Copies of this chain bind each other. A is one copy, B any other.
Amino acid sequence: MRHDFASDNTAGLAPEALAALIAANAGAVSSYGSDAITARTADLIRERLQADAEVRFLISGTAANALALAMLARPFESVLAHEHAHIVTDETGAPGFFGQGLGLTRLAGAHARIDPEALKAALAEPEPAYVQPPGALSLTQATEYGALYSAEQLRHLIEPCKLKGLKVHMDGARLANAAAAGFDPADVARLGVDVLCFGGAKAGAGAVEALVIFDPKLARRVDHRIKQAGQTASKARLLTAPLMGLLESGAWEGHAAHANRMAQRLAAGIKARTPFPLAHPVEASLVFVRMPADAHDRLLASGWAASDFSDGSIRFVCSWATTAESVDEFVEALAKVA
């Protein structure tokens, strides 16, 4: 089975990440994140976000999101999120585990962007003691269906939440792709996001996501929180060096831009060569098509992995490792199973 387009996690470390890891591996340095490489990586992220913030490194995106939500909302509250958000559909209820029963309120919206009207309705719901009222809003940039929020769209979602005292989380697992597509990472802080999960793995690093905490009060004893949750890497430099390598070299965005271009090439090929309609606009690195079940079966039978998503469409993903040749080859394979 070929996994080229199955996920952003089927690719390994990008060359800049691997080189930085190899370089960082030498010698003895202090452990548990008190090393210079980890400090430098945090600096690079603050620079990239143009914001002062506490930055920590976790070893799982699921944990980063869930821990962030547990910081922002309490067990008897809920998090407003898109009904197809990764935290809702793909994390085995981790927000409830880390958040001790924290609820999730599912909101509708095209292309996994939360519909402002759906949000408004949720915020207007009465809050008797027997329901979990909203404590936080979770946004994903780029969205799980490969769409982008504009800064203006984010503002329209964030502002009414802030007015009601909600905190705001952003899942930035594909923030690099959003940045490469024109979203300014400096807007994250400007718009009032409280905690950002700054993606590493999908951008070409290994098991690392940065937790970026803009409100210093929230960061009190965050190292204790992270340690208790089993998210403190002992040999931290091995996690952070690859991300440092990507950020220092500009490859964090450069690779994402490449992945976005490959997604455009794939979408164009699909339009030109297959009858399969695109299910969502292709604004980042993800391509979704509507494909009959038998065509999907033939695709799998022909040796390419690809799975269906919450809305029934089939997802293909481009990454730093995707080549134009493999895109063209894959388009041929899709054309054949049509």
Contact = CB atoms under 8 A, between A and B. Distances in A.
B30 A92 contact: no
B133 A13 contact: no
A269 interface: no
Copy number in the complex reads 4
Nearest to A64: B230
A90 interface: yes
A1 B13 contact: no
Interface stretch (A112-120, A219-227, A272-280, A293-301): A219-227
Contact of A230 (B3, B25, B77, B230): B230
Contact of A92 (B63, B89, B129, B206): B129
A171 to B, nearest CB: 14
Interface string A75-106: 11110000000000111111111111111000
A64 to B, nearest CB: 8
Nearest to A229: B97
B235 A206 contact: yes
A174 interface: no
B76 A230 contact: no
Contacts of A130: 89-92, 227
A6 interface: yes
Interface of A: 1-4, 6-7, 9-13, 18, 21-22, 24-32, 58-64, 66-67, 74-78, 89-103, 127, 129-133, 201, 206-207, 221, 223-235, 237-239, 305, 321
21 contacts: A2-B28, A6-B28, A6-B31, A9-B235, A10-B28, A28-B321, A59-B59, A67-B230, A75-B93, A76-B227, A91-B227, A92-B130, A92-B132, A93-B132, A94-B101, A96-B96, A96-B100, A96-B103, A100-B100, A129-B224, A129-B226
